[in-house]
Amino acid sequence: MSETVAPVRTAAKQLRELDRAVVRFAGDSGDGMQLTGEQFTTESAWAGNDIATLPNFPAEIRAPAGTLFGVSSFQLQFGSQRVYTPGDRLDCLVAMNPAALKVHLSDLKPGGLLVVNTNAFDKRNLDKAGYPSNPLDDPALAERYRLHKVDMTALTLEAIKDLSLNQKEKERTKNFFALGVVSWIYTRPLEPTLEWIKKKFAKNQVIAEANARVLKAGHAFGETAEIFAEHYAVEAAELPPGLYRAMTGNRALAWGLLAAAQRSKLPVVYGAYPITPASGILEELAMHKRFRIRTIQAEDEIAAVTAAIGASFGGAIGVTASSGPGIALKGEGIGLAVTAELPLVIFDIQRGGPSTGLPTKTEQADLMQALYGRNSESPVVVLAPATPGDCFYIAYEAVRIATKYMTPVLVLSDGFLANGSEPWPVPDINSLPPIDVQFRTEKEGFFPYLRDPATLARPWVRPGTPGLEHRIGGIEKQDVTGNISYDPDNHDHMVRMRAEKVRRVAQEIPPTSINGPATGDLLVVGWGGTYGAITAAVERTQLEGQSVASVHLRYLNPLPPDLGHILREYRKVLVPEINSGQLVRVLRAEYLVDAVGFNRVRGLPLATDEIYEAIKQLLGSAS
């Protein structure tokens, strides 16, 4: 279960044994694997581990039972050291039916733990999964893996036979049996899950009792049954001291908005149309009306963005969100905010495309859409969070920049960040920079497109301010006066002005932090949700004594002012992305550096191993 990297002495770093495990729960959509994984995550957080998670579920809401495409899974990596990714290969796989085994077995390390629910391996399910015979009967399976065949269904039913529930309700609790077993294997505390069950089923005592009993039964089974002769402990990770909570990317984006609403003392109007994987933000925000968050479930993506723009015109913080297809629909609206020079925050939770693509899978292929996906010259600020918890800061920063510069700010999150979670140190809210919005009320010398000399922002006027009545719109306007203008030179001037305003946001960007030597053989440049995989891969090569560094960009437009200089300090530049080479193009165009892409577009996070290999390969070609 533990991934051990031999210690290599380097001047900068001392390597210690890495204690970590990668576990995946897999079953039918109806088997409750997401819940099981989330609870196991909570237990691991309690145990003080660092964690990264990867939920993976079918696009179909109720995929037919037993089928390969109906398999739902939840993977997490937890460890006593920093954990950057949900892990590549599995130390432990729990397969609740034949389809889950078939889909996931190839990811299990040789010698890994394989726990299966034998009860589901009947003729029907085997047929559906395309197994001509029962794979559990094949001795090769037990030779290759540490196979544990458990009739979870029967053991579950036995544990709660006296409870007045019907057969179906009883069987449905078997995921807690699996959770109990795995909790025992990895010495996880059951308390958080027992607490959760109590709260969740407070209104249905029998169900609460059943789930709690089955969980304990699974745990006891692991302890007493002879088949588990071993179990593991993963020590608490050495995270910096402080108060922690588990945080997913979508929740962090929502909470970042709450923080921004509170600090700016402005209401947020959030327009959204339901779309995977962004809907969770709308649902989260709708629970927090006390923060003056006003959510509109709009009739379509266009109404969602334009309602947000209307709110910004009114002096509130207008925010909208979607995934790639929805962002495409919002394009004209975003352009309106560009020319009206109103604050607007747009979250794009990227997923596989084009078109409907892979709604529940992750991708990083909307960078070009974010930068250029509108008619004409319509520059917007583009930010990207690096981890689920970072989404909090990025959402807050987006509001700060949007209101300070009177500009749309587009945030590129992705399906992996949105649903993934990590232990997150709770920030001190007072440590966040202020969001100081000053509405113009002074009549003297007012013009709608007067500009702040430092930011080039135009004044924000709340309708209702006497004496400042004015009109704005999508037609080109004269600078300063805002009057409609078709003058060629004015248009050229305004195109440059809007671009320059966005460029000025560079003055907000902190110095780029470099993970590794300041000059060297190779620099890995990443953005977004690949942060963990890149960092882990780069640190591995560093421990091998290679001269490799990485930077992770949170500001994609404008780019950090020091980036050009940094890029030139390395002989090679590698840009891993879950797209066919978008940031790498931007860097090549912007800085004339011979950056090389590493690109996989599988709907899955990049694996540490493959980035590591790519680094080695590029280093090899360099020498």
Partner 1 sequence: MSVSGAGPAEARRYTKKDFESDQDVRWCPGCGDYAILSAVQKTMPDLGIPKENIVFISGIGCSSRFPYYMNTYGFHTIHGRAPAVATGLRLARPDLKIFVVTGDGDGLSIGGNHMLHVLRRNVSLTILLFNNRIYGLTKGQYSPTSELGKVTKSTPLGSADRPVNPLAFALGCGATFVGRTVDRDVKHMEEMLKRAAHHNGTAFLEILQNCNVYNDLAWNALYEKESKLQYELRLEQGKPLLFGALDDRKAVIMDGVIPKVVSAASVPASALWVHDEKNVNAAKLLADLWAPEFPIPVGVLAAVEAPVYEEILLDQEKRAVSERGAGDIAKLLTSGDTWKIE
Please list every residue from 304 through 363 that binds partner 1, using CB under 8 A: 304, 306-316, 318, 332-333, 335-336, 340
Query: Going residue by residue from 180 to 209, which x/- string records binding to partner 1, judged by CB under 8 A?
Result: ------------x-----------------
Using CB under 8 A, which of 122, 158, 223, 299 touches partner 1? 299
**Closer residue to partner 1 (CB): 157 or 303:** 303
Choose between 197 and 574: whose C-beta lies nearer to partner 1: 197
Binding mask 211-250 for partner 1 (x = CB under 8 A): -------------------------x--xxxxxxxx----
| Residue of the chain from 65, 68, 358, 472 that contacts partner 1 (CB under 8 A) | 472
321 and 307 Cβ atoms separated by less than 8 Å: no
Q: Long-range contacts made by residues 12-15, C-beta under 8 angstroms, separation at least 24? A: 12/542, 13/539, 13/542, 13/543, 15/543
Structure tokens at 338: 């560009």
DSSP state letter for 145: S
Phi-psi category of 40—alpha, beta or left, where left has phi over 0 and alpha has psi -120 to 50? Answer: alpha
What distance in Å separates the CA atoms of residue 378 and residue 2, rounded to the nearest whole number?
50
User: 50-69: which residues touch partner 1 (CB under 8 A)?
Assistant: none
Q: Is 118 exposed, middle or buried (0-12, 13-18, 19+ CB in 10 A)?
A: middle
User: Would you count residue 159 as binding partner 1 (CB under 8 A)?
Assistant: no
Q: Report the residue from 231, 289, 496, 602 that binds partner 1 according to the rule CB under 8 A.
A: 289
Q: Does 281 bind partner 1 (CB under 8 A)?
A: no
- CA dist 411 and 394 (Å) reads 8
How far apart are alpha carbons 526 and 541 in whole angstroms? 16
Residue 434 interacts with partner 1 (CB under 8 A): yes or no: no
Tell me the two tokens of residue 99.
């389809």
Q: How many Å apart are CA 569 and CA 31, to the nearest integer?
A: 52
The nearer residue to partner 1, 103 or 461, going by C-beta atoms, is 461
Among 354, 466, 510, 620, binds partner 1 (CB under 8 A): 466
Residues 355-414 that bind partner 1 (CB under 8 A): none
Q: Please, what is the minimum distance in Å from the beta carbon of residue 201 to partner 1?
A: 17
Query: By CB under 8 A, is residue 80 in contact with partner 1?
Result: no
Please report, as residue ranges, which positions from 94 to 153 form the binding site for partner 1 (by CB under 8 A).
none
Q: What is the CA radius of gyration of the chain?
A: 26
CA gap 222, 220 in Å, rounded: 5
Q: Which two tokens stand for residue 518?
A: 């300041």
Residue numbers 248-277 binding partner 1 by CB under 8 A? 255, 258-259, 261-262, 267, 269, 271
Q: How far is the CB of 315 from partner 1 (least distance, A)?
A: 7
- Strand, helix or coil for residue 71: strand
Indicate the residue among 57 and 313 with the shorter CB distance to partner 1: 313
Angle at 236 between CA 230 and CA 238, to 5 degrees: 145
Q: Tell me the closest approach of the beta carbon of residue 444 to partner 1, in angstroms.
A: 9
Is there binding between residue 291 and partner 1 (CB under 8 A)? yes
Nearest distance from C-beta of residue 306 to partner 1, angstroms: 4
Residues 477-496 within binding reach of partner 1 (CB under 8 A): 481-484
Give CA–CA dist 381/449, Å, rounded.
Answer: 19
- Of 70 and 333, nearer to partner 1 (C-beta) is 333
Between the alpha carbon of residue 146 and those of residues 136, 149, 360, 561, 578, the distances in Å are: 12, 10, 31, 53, 33
Does 46 contact partner 1 by CB under 8 A? yes
Whichever of 64 and 464 has its CB closer to partner 1, that residue is: 464
Amino acid type, 363: E
Question: Minimum distance between the CB of residue 311 and partner 1, rounded to whole angstroms?
Answer: 4
